[in-house]
Every structure is written in C-alpha cells, then in structure tokens.
Amino acid sequence: MQSFPSSAPGRVVILATGGTIAGTAAQPLDVLGYVAAQVGIEELVAALPGLDEQPLETEQVAQLDSKDMDIEVWRALVLRARHHLARPDVAGIVVTHGTDTLEETAYLLQRVLAPSKPLVLTAAMRPSTSLQADGPQNLIDAVNVARVAGASGVVVVMAGWLHGALDVRKTHTHRLDAFGCGDAGPLGRIDAGRLRRVRDWPHGVALGADVLDVDRWPRVEIVLSHAGASGAIVDALLAQGVDGIVAAGTGNGTLHHALEAALLRAKAEGVAVWRSSRVADGGVLSAADAVLPDSGPLTPVQARVELILQLLQCRSVRA
C-alpha cells in the first residue's frame, strides 16, 4: 500500500484536450444531452479543492469531443508531452481526454514515448455541470498518481482504478466505472486517498516522437466481420489506396469467407492486413495454418494504432 503524500518532488503539467470532463449541459440532471469540450482546463482546476496548493501548470492542447480525435491533435499532444517530460522540474504529466478514443490515445502515447515519468490520462462519464460529475475526483486522483515517486509509463485513472495503456479499453457506454483491462486486469486501485498497486506499470522501448514527423500518416481502416459480410468494403478501400486494414473478426479472429477472400486480395496488392477480434475480452490466439497475421491481445482500435506505427517505422527505415 502506497500513500499519495510520499510523492516525487516537482510540478505536474496538465495537458487538456477537451472531452466530457470539460462538457456542460443546460440542466444538472442531464447526463446525455450535454456538449463536450466547453470548459477550459484553468477553470476546471480552479474549481477543485487542494489543487491550487500544488505546483501545477496547465496547457490547452486541444478542445474537442474525443470522438473527433485526429492525427494532428495526436501529434501535437505527443510533442507537448515529450517537451514537458524532458523538464527536470516536472514530476509527471496528466492528460484530460474524452472517453470515446481514450484507449487509442493512451496506446499511442505509451508506444511512442514509453516515458520514464508517470503520464496519466483521465476523463469523465458525466459533464462538469452534472450533479454526478465524476471528473473532479478523477482529475484529483490523476494529479496525485502523476506524483508517485518511481512510477513510469502511461496509465489511465478512472473511477478509482488504474489501467495500463497497453491493455485499457472502454467496456461500458454510460456507467461511471466504464473502463477495464480485459484479461490483464487493472494496475491498481485508489481507496480513501491511498494507492494500492496490483502489478507493474507499463514499460517498454519508446519509438520516439520523430516517427510521427511525416507529411502523410498511413491510412489504416477497420472492417467488421459479421453474418452476410462481403468484400465490397475492402474493394472500395483498395480503390482509394488504403495502406492497412484491421479486420475485427468473430470469435478468435475468424472471418466470413467472402471478407477473407477480399482481404487476401488486398494483401496480394501490398496492403498490410491484420486480424483482430470484435469480442470484448480475450485476444486472438495464433494458429499455424492462419492465412492472415493476427494482432494477438490487441483490440481492433489498438491494433489499428499499432499497425499505423509499424507502417510509419517502415517508411522511416526506407527513407
């Protein structure tokens, strides 16, 4: 059991990107009819007890609903996080984000930066004006986690749980406790101001932010296998010059025969094709006779980010 007060010296930098945590609704009981990304990070922080006594910096990197997250915001966020992580006076980073694409951003940040300091993403399922607003506690917890001495890597703090960036996924559409880690399980739990770690935090070798410094990122799309699926979507993507396709298959990454045939045509034409599973938990177990490679434990959206990064690396090597 580790208490938050035994924390690393230095300041925490909060990088804000919008999301429900910064959303507002006309009525305090309305948790659905709100508009995301309306409140600036300075205003959010000023309303929280105790944070004004801590050495903090805030920066508004973007202000958007995370369903609209795009490559340009990703690049800006990576570069600002890299800048602040390199500062000796910074203990850790907090990123406020929307929940819809949080798992994709977390995965990207871990793979590209693999920071030696804590980089903590947090969000909310209720807007800031709600009587059930969960953002304030999540943000306080995230700032405290960002100060944990000796911690490193990208983690997600939501509803008192710590999730690893490589495992986290949204598991519920509206519950406050809306995130999980599949088979991997959470990294820890925050209870009554104390942090209990269950397993090690993310680590790995950083790809480096320079991998993102290209004029055009590879276009990687996700297609879904389902009853009656055809190869029409794949053929349309081929005609548009897609660079990669992640197929969200049934069960253990299995594919409708018509869709699989189209994906094999795409592979023959030089498109990178991976199989994943549309099932919420459990990754794809590799089979010796598989005709298409799989993404292992990665969800379809994580696999898409990973495939983009691998294609970017290939471009860097060729250059």
The CATH number for 287's domain is 3.40.50.40
Angle, vertex CA 42, rays to CA 88 and CA 58, nearest 5: 15
Same domain, 154 and 230: no
Same domain, 269 and 191: no
In a domain, 295, yes or no: yes
In a domain, 206, yes or no: no
The tally of domains found in the chain comes to 2
Same domain, 116 and 248: no
From first to last of the 319 residues of the chain, give the pLDDT tens digit. Answer: 344 545 788 999 999 999 999 999 999 999 999 999 999 999 999 999 888 788 999 999 999 999 999 999 999 999 999 999 999 999 999 999 999 999 999 999 999 999 999 999 999 999 999 999 999 999 999 999 999 988 999 999 999 999 999 999 999 999 999 999 999 999 999 998 889 999 888 889 999 999 999 889 999 999 999 999 999 999 999 999 999 999 999 999 999 999 999 999 999 999 999 999 999 999 999 988 899 999 999 999 999 999 999 999 987 655 4
In a domain, 104, yes or no: yes
Closest CA to 102 of 76, 80, 128, 121: 121
Show the domain range for 19: 2-197
Same domain, 164 and 222: no
Same domain, 43 and 166: yes
- The residues that are catalytic are 20
Tokens linked to 210: 């320079």
Q: What global pTM score does this model have?
A: 0.96
Give the list of residues 6+ apart from residue 124 with CB closer than 8 angstroms, or none: 19, 20, 21, 23, 99, 133, 134, 135, 138
Same domain, 122 and 55: yes
CATH of residue 90's domain is 3.40.50.1170
In a domain, 205, yes or no: no
- Amino acid at site 284: V
